[in-house]
Each structure stands twice: as C-alpha cells, then as structure tokens.
Amino acid sequence: MSRDDAQVVRAWRRGDPEAARALFERHVAVLGRFFSTKVGVEADDLVQLTFMTALSNPDRFEGRSSFRSYLLGVANNVLLKHLRTRYARGRHLDFDDVTLRDLGTSASRKLAKNDDRRRLLESLASLPLHEQVALELYYWEELPASEIAEALGVPEGTVRTRIRSARLKLRRRLGAIRTAEARTAP
C-alpha cells in the first residue's frame, strides 16, 4: 500500500468522511471496470453497493494487502450475490463452471465497439466466472497473484491455476472465433 493510501485508510478508520470520499475517488474507476464487463448497465449500482459495504465497517479491512485488493474482494462478493439473486432461481450456481454467457448476460455485446474488443469480451464471457475474474484482476488491474488470492479468499495456487486455465481457454476461444469469421468472410 502506498504511503498516501496508508494515510487515507488510517484517516478513514478514524471516521474522517473526507478520507472515505478520497478512497471512493481513487478506486471508483477500478470497480467500474470490474463490473462493466460482467453486468453492463447495472455496474453503477453494484459499484455503489460495493463502496457502501466496504466503507460501512472500517474494521473489516485488516491491511494484509492493498485497499484496492480488499475492495475488489468485496466487489467479487457483491457480484456473486447479485448473480445468484438474479439468475439462480432456486438452483445452485457453481462459478467454477458457470459463465456469464450461460446466465444470459449481454454486457459484452453492449460494450463492444469494435471487432477485436467484441471478440475479447465475448471470449471472456465464455470463461467460468471465477477464471474470468482472476484473469481480469491479473491483467487489467495488474494485481499480483498473492493479492488476487487475498481478494478472492482462495489460495494463491488456485489463483495461478485459474489464470493459466483461463489464458488457455481464452486463446482457444479467440482462435475459434477468428477461424469461424474467416470461413464466413466473402
């Protein structure tokens, strides 16, 4: 945690509302990216819920990792609860197998502005959710595997396995999309 982050977190723990606001401003873009690839238009609501959850009890943040990774852990829990509430309909959702495509979410299609982005987002949506989250945190948020493990509440080896598996699946999926597009091109 940078010195500035540490100071802001200490002030937040003392009840300083400006510190809470500063934490929000520093990390809102991270949460926006996290949710936008998974829930589309509902992202803003989930960002707000994540901050309300995280900032409501300063003692939950133990300081074992960065505040950002703590916040992403809260965001992941908010996401999983949201998906279970919205899509489970009385059945168990195993996020090691369930993909956003299985759930019928279409955030990737709404966000896609060009073909490469569309291909990438569609391929990400075809990954099991736990793998998608680990891969995005590793590449987009540049978190080390140890902080991802802390955020997701799993062993570091599990994070590394999820990232490795996700990369292989993503590579295969992108190759399949390109091959299919090449066959249908005039």
Tell me: pLDDT of 122 over 90. no
Where are the domains positioned within the chain?
3-184
| Predicted pLDDT of residue 154 | 94
pLDDT of 112 reads 46
Compute the average pLDDT of residues 52-68: 81
- For residue 114, what pLDDT is reported? 62
pLDDT tops 50 at residue 170? yes
Give the end-to-end CA distance of the chain in Å, rounded to a whole number.
53
Structure tokens at 10: 């200490």
99 DSSP β-pair partners: 128
Confidence band, pLDDT 50/70/90 cuts, at residue 66:
confident
For residue 15, what pLDDT is reported?
Answer: 82
| Range name among 46-50, 94-98, 125-129 with the lowest pLDDT average | 94-98
Q: Kindly state the helix (H) or strand (E) to which residue 62 belongs, with its residue range.
A: none
Question: Which positions ≥6 away from 154 have C-beta within 8 Å?
Answer: none
What are the distances in angstroms from CA 68 to CA 9, 26, 61, 62, 92?
11, 9, 11, 12, 29
- For the chain, give the percent of residues with pLDDT over 90: 28
Question: Residue 67: its pLDDT value, please?
Answer: 86
Q: Tokens standing for 103?
A: 């759930």
- pLDDT for residue 93 is more than 50: yes
Which helix (H) or strand (E) element contains residue 156? Answer: helix 156-184
Q: Is the pLDDT reported for residue 105 higher than 70?
A: no
CATH code linked to domain 3-184: 1.10.1740.10
